[in-house]
């Protein structure tokens, strides 16, 4: 099974209404919270978009060149759900790359994610948010994704899941994790995102953090662990 099916689907089945990610951007003063069910819809739309519109098959490289953000969560989980290998900056020849406004990549298809707090499109010729909306809220893999399939950088599905579970041991059970870590490497994605899923937790992700706000935010969000 895919990384998404192993680490995320059990959380969805246990409590679909529970928050999965609460995203703050202190540079613009926004707070957006997505439940597990809402993230699942974004992930399913993404998986359908990658597979049906761009012919992404298990093991095909998809470059995710975005900051730690709620849109990135749906993109990552959708990519893994259809079996894609998530790669980062410096990878040449990805089948699809998703970049922020103004970003570039060496890929067959380059889509732009607006990172708008309400998910509005960017107006780019290939626009991630606008394009995925027309796809279904459910995703059914054509066949199971083997555990030996590359999933994150050079690591396979089985290796990613094992690493996430190992890292989750330091977070406690069902933690509420506040993080300022960027997801700019495979190890950062594992520590700052997948380990939280493996622990059954939820993430309070802060972009452009204002250090003076973090203490109050730990209290208001009932944070049990902090990263970064």
Residue 121 pLDDT class (50, 70, 90 cuts) = confident
- Of the listed ranges 12-21, 22-31, 119-128, 163-172, the one predicted with least confidence: 119-128
Q: Give the pLDDT of residue 88.
A: 96
Residue 204 pLDDT class (50, 70, 90 cuts) = very high
Q: Kindly report, residue by residue over 83-116, the tens digit of the pLDDT.
A: 999 999 999 999 999 999 999 999 999 999 999 9
Q: Kindly report, residue by residue over 176-189, the tens digit of the pLDDT.
A: 999 999 999 999 99
Listed in sequence order, the residues at least 6 apart from 61 whose beta carbon sits closer than 8 Å to its beta carbon are 84, 85, 86, 87, 91, 93, 94, 95
Q: Which residues pair with 177 in a beta bridge?
A: 203, 225
Q: Give the pLDDT of residue 119.
A: 81
The rounded distance, in Å, linking the Cα atoms of 145 and 179 is 30
pTM (2 decimals)?
0.97
Q: What is the mean pLDDT of the chain?
A: 96
Q: Are 117 and 124 in contact (CB under 8 A)?
A: no
Q: Give percent of the chain above pLDDT 70.
A: 100
Q: Give the pLDDT of residue 125.
A: 94
Over the range 144-182, which residues count as b (16 or more CB within 10 Å of their CB) and which as e? ebebebbbbbebbbbbbbebbbebbeebeeebbbbbbbb
Q: Kindly report, residue by residue over 47-84, the tens digit of the pLDDT.
A: 999 999 999 999 999 999 999 999 999 999 999 999 99
Residue 19: pLDDT above 90? yes
Residue 203: pLDDT above 90? yes
Q: Give the pLDDT of residue 101.
A: 96
Residue 118: pLDDT above 90? no
Residue 117: pLDDT above 90? no
Per domain, the residue ranges of the chain are 3-227
Q: Give the pLDDT of residue 162.
A: 98
Task: Name the architecture of domain 3-227.
Answer: 3-Layer(aba) Sandwich (3.40)
């Amino acid at each position: 099974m895919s990384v998404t099916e192993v680490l995320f689907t059990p959380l969805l089945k246990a409590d679909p209404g529970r928050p999965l990610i609460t995203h703050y951007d202190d540079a613009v003063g926004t707070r957006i919270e997505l439940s597990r069910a809402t993230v699942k819809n974004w992930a399913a739309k993404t998986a359908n978009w990658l597979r049906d519109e761009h012919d992404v098959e298990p093991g095909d490289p998809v470059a995710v060149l975005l900051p730690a953000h709620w849109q990135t969560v749906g993109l990552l989980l959708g990519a893994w759900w259809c079996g894609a290998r998530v790669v980062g900056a410096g990878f040449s020849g990805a089948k699809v790359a998703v970049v922020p406004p103004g970003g570039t990549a060496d890929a067959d298809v380059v889509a732009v994610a607006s990172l708008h707090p309400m998910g509005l499109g960017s107006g780019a010729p290939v626009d991630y948010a606008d394009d995925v909306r027309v796809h279904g809220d459910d995703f059914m893999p054509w066949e199971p994704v083997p555990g030996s399939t590359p999933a994150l950088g050079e690591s396979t599905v089985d290796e990613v899941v094992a690493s996430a579970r190992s890292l989750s041991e330091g977070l406690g059970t069902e933690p509420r994790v506040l993080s300022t870590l960027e997801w700019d490497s495979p190890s950062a994605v594992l520590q700052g995102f997948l380990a939280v899923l493996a622990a059954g937790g939820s993430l309070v992700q802060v972009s452009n953090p204002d250090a003076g706000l973090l203490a109050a935010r730990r209290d208001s969000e009932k944070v049990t662990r902090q990263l970064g």
